[in-house]
A and B are shown apart, each in its own frame.
Chain A
Amino acid sequence: MKFVDEYRDGDVAQLLARLIRQEAKPDRNYRLMEFCGGHTHAIFRFGIVDLMPDNVRFIHGPGCPVCVLPAGRIEAAIKLVEENDVILCTYADLMRVPAGKRDSLQKAKARGGDIRMVYSATDALAIAQANREKQVVFFAIGFETTTPPTAAVLKIANAMQLTNFSVFCNHVETPPAMMHILSAGEAKIDGILGPSHVSTIIGSQAYADCCDKYRVPLVIAGFEPLDVIQSVLMLVRQINAGEASVENQYTRAVSKGGNKKAQSLMAEVFEQRPLFEWRGLGVLPESAVQIRSEFADFDAEKRFGMQAIATADIKGCICPAVLRGMNNPDECKLFGTACTPEDPKGACMVSSEGACAAYYSYGRYRAAESKA
């Protein structure tokens, strides 16, 4: 497939890596936060760390939709299934994420809850159409990439006047989370690999305020390995020049203003939520969306009177700090012992885009090598 291979050319990668090694100044650090789990995944999957000089380091950010969903929201969904006769449709990643007290959607399913894995919001809608006698709830999560499809489905359900379909909305927004991390100042960040898929929707300019206010350069970077390496080079150059602006490496898909059609679709169906809790980042103002009152009939939170459930993360799990870029996964006491992908204690170990899972799978080798 030409389309993929172009962005995976080993020779080009070596060339770019050589440039990075030449241009990165030996006497300074380049701590680059990859905001998205997709980047974390690419960095480990293609062995990009191997190609970097020691002073160019990756810090993992909060950009995995599964990781940033607080346990309480999952518990609320479990409660919904167990106390009401509903079919809950959800993306598969979410099934294994720990809720409180070692529970998860997967365990609730085994207990008899009608929880079904879907690949898209449209699948959930189809299940609702096929099961008119049951209430069907779509557990919607994700950043701005997955929000428009949920909006589209809500519009269709509304037009069809479906009475047995609703959405448990957990869509969150990236710029507020990024602002929060930068303003907290806990993680030392010299540059940011910016979200690519998200930016196809909201545009590269959505991050301009982050760069200006906190004087940190940001490059919107595609998820293919060459995208990532090229973006690192762009960041190194900005850092060397003392600049702090939004640059767009992923020009093949991202424009300054983003996808206006998707934006207006989102605005029609969703409005900003005053407060939303993120796993790891706490309660952030205006960082998520909720369903507008015009579509209130399709809002599962309203239809079923769902309440937020306060749940503590598992003791010892440092997911919150990992998600804020303060710690590496292998600094967690549970990492690789009590917490493994088979028996995850925190969300970061579940998703293939979670930093702990990536570290566990691909990083153990590196750890073993460096000890040898």
Chain B
Amino acid sequence: MSKLDIKNGLIEMGHGSGGRASATLIEEIFVRHFDNELLNQGNDQALFSIPAGRMVISTDGHVITPLFFPGGDIGSLSIHGTVNDVAMSGATPLYLSASFILEEGFPLADLERIVISMAKASIDAGVPVVTGDTKVVERGKGDGVFITTTGVGIVPDGINISGDLAKPGDAIIVSGSIGDHGIAILSSREGLQFGTTIESDSAALHTLVAEMIAIAPAIRCLRDPTRGGLATTLNELARQSNVGISIQETSIPIKAEVKGACELLGLDPLYIANEGKLVCIVPAEDAGQLLAAMHKHPLGQNAAIIGNVCEDAQQMVVMKTAFGGSRVVDWLAGEQLPRIC
């Protein structure tokens, strides 16, 4: 089989034809970097036995501009996102699958860079990519690369974590500063250079979750506040559990640079995306111990209790402002947009 010219080559329609060119692409880029026993068998599926417990499955499509950003790229993000979605059920993630939609003309070198980063993220997380698929679409019909990843995991018996379990009186914890990912992405978009050093927080949170569950098996809800940010996640949880939520602005960890960038652009950090943070709702009596345990984990060093669950048939999220007033933290309508004036 002919070798790929990774340095200068581009994705061509033939790479998605299922023929020899496809096989070469898969061999030289995907199999080479993901390298694991199940994938290397070369079947159209991965066969494995599962330990006892309940199974969790989650899938997520990744579409992002720019593909490479401070602190990560679409590859590592596609691993972290799905590992986290699985982990937020309290599960141990086991395996991942990945589907690539590539646009004709996309540089092979960029593809390899993405796959290397993806492979590293999956190896670091200990969750291998064991099966996948590649398709090529004509130039102009894709945005370079779209990646869809699916993850499976196992929830140990006795753990029951779900968005509808929050109870009045429970404490609400976030695992660290919010808004880093969204601001890192914005800062690398064309036309919006505002000179920050903020990097995306993209990270796999399953080891943090494992330690949290070990300390506080009674955790009721876990969720990663990705698109829509902390505000959206809290609204989702309030609605699912039919409760109100009350938070304190002064308790929410936000980096000064993120605050500053948000001010500049007229954005609210509560709505900015995160890729390496989680929100946890836990019975109040467990909160102190849990927080102490989280502080010991590198991804939970800046964890903080930001508020509590209350009774409210209207399911509102209300924030006491640093200012002494209060405001509703509502669902976002449409996209959050930089202001005009």
Pair from one complex? yes
Q: Which residues of A contact B (CB under 8 A)?
A: 1, 3-4, 8, 10, 13-14, 17, 36-38, 44-51, 65-66, 91-93, 96, 118-120, 122-123, 126, 141-143, 145-146, 197-198, 225, 340-342, 344, 352-353, 357, 360-365, 368
**In the complex, A66 Cα to B334 Cα: how many Å?**
16
Work out how many contacts link A and B, with CB atoms closer than 8 A: 109
Given A1-B256, A341-B333, A142–B340 Cβ distance below 8 Å?
Answer: yes
**In the complex, A96 Cα to B323 Cα: how many Å?**
32
Query: Do A51 and B325 have beta carbons less than 8 Å apart?
Result: yes
Interchain residue pairs A-B with the least CB separation, the first 5: A47-B325, A341-B333, A50-B325, A361-B330, A92-B337
Given A47-B321, A361-B330, A362-B328, A145–B341 Cβ distance below 8 Å?
Answer: yes
Q: Which residues of A contact B316 (CB under 8 A)?
A: 364-365, 368
Given A142-B340, A143-B341, A365–B318 Cβ distance below 8 Å?
Answer: yes
Query: Which residue from chain A places its CB closest to the CB of B320 in the assembled complex?
Result: A47
Q: Which residues of A contact B314 (CB under 8 A)?
A: 364, 368
Q: How far is the CB of B151 from chain A (nearest CB, A)?
A: 31
Q: How far is the CB of B283 from chain A (nearest CB, A)?
A: 26
Query: Do B340 and A66 have beta carbons less than 8 Å apart?
Result: yes
Contact of A119 among B191, B320, B328 (CB under 8 A): B191
**In the complex, A112 Cα to B185 Cα: how many Å?**
27
Given A3-B260, A4-B263, A146–B322 Cβ distance below 8 Å?
Answer: no
Q: Which residues of B contact A (CB under 8 A)?
A: 191-192, 250, 256-257, 259-260, 263, 266, 268, 314, 316, 318, 320-328, 330, 333-335, 337-341
Contact of A146 among B259, B321, B324, B341 (CB under 8 A): B341
Query: Do A47 and B327 have beta carbons less than 8 Å apart?
Result: yes
Query: Do B333 and A342 have beta carbons less than 8 Å apart?
Result: yes
Given A1-B256, A365-B316, A51–B340 Cβ distance below 8 Å?
Answer: no
New A-B pairs, 12, CB < 8 Å, besides A13-B323, A92-B337, A365-B327? A1-B257, A10-B250, A38-B339, A44-B327, A46-B327, A51-B324, A119-B191, A197-B341, A225-B323, A344-B333, A362-B328, A368-B316
Query: Which residue from chain B places its CB closest to the CB of A141 in the assembled complex?
Result: B340
* Residue of A45, A198, A341 with most partner-chain B CB within 10 A: A45
Query: Do B324 and A50 have beta carbons less than 8 Å apart?
Result: yes
**In the complex, A341 Cα to B338 Cα: how many Å?**
17
Query: Do A46 and B191 have beta carbons less than 8 Å apart?
Result: no
Query: Which residue from chain A places its CB closest to the CB of B261 in the assembled complex?
Result: A1
* Residue of A47, A48, A91, A96 with most partner-chain B CB within 10 A: A47
Query: Do B324 and A340 have beta carbons less than 8 Å apart?
Result: no
Query: Do B340 and A352 have beta carbons less than 8 Å apart?
Result: no
Query: Do A93 and B340 have beta carbons less than 8 Å apart?
Result: yes
Q: Which residues of A contact B321 (CB under 8 A)?
A: 10, 45-47, 225
Query: Do B328 and A364 have beta carbons less than 8 Å apart?
Result: yes
**In the complex, A14 Cα to B325 Cα: how many Å?**
10
Query: Do A361 and B341 have beta carbons less than 8 Å apart?
Result: no
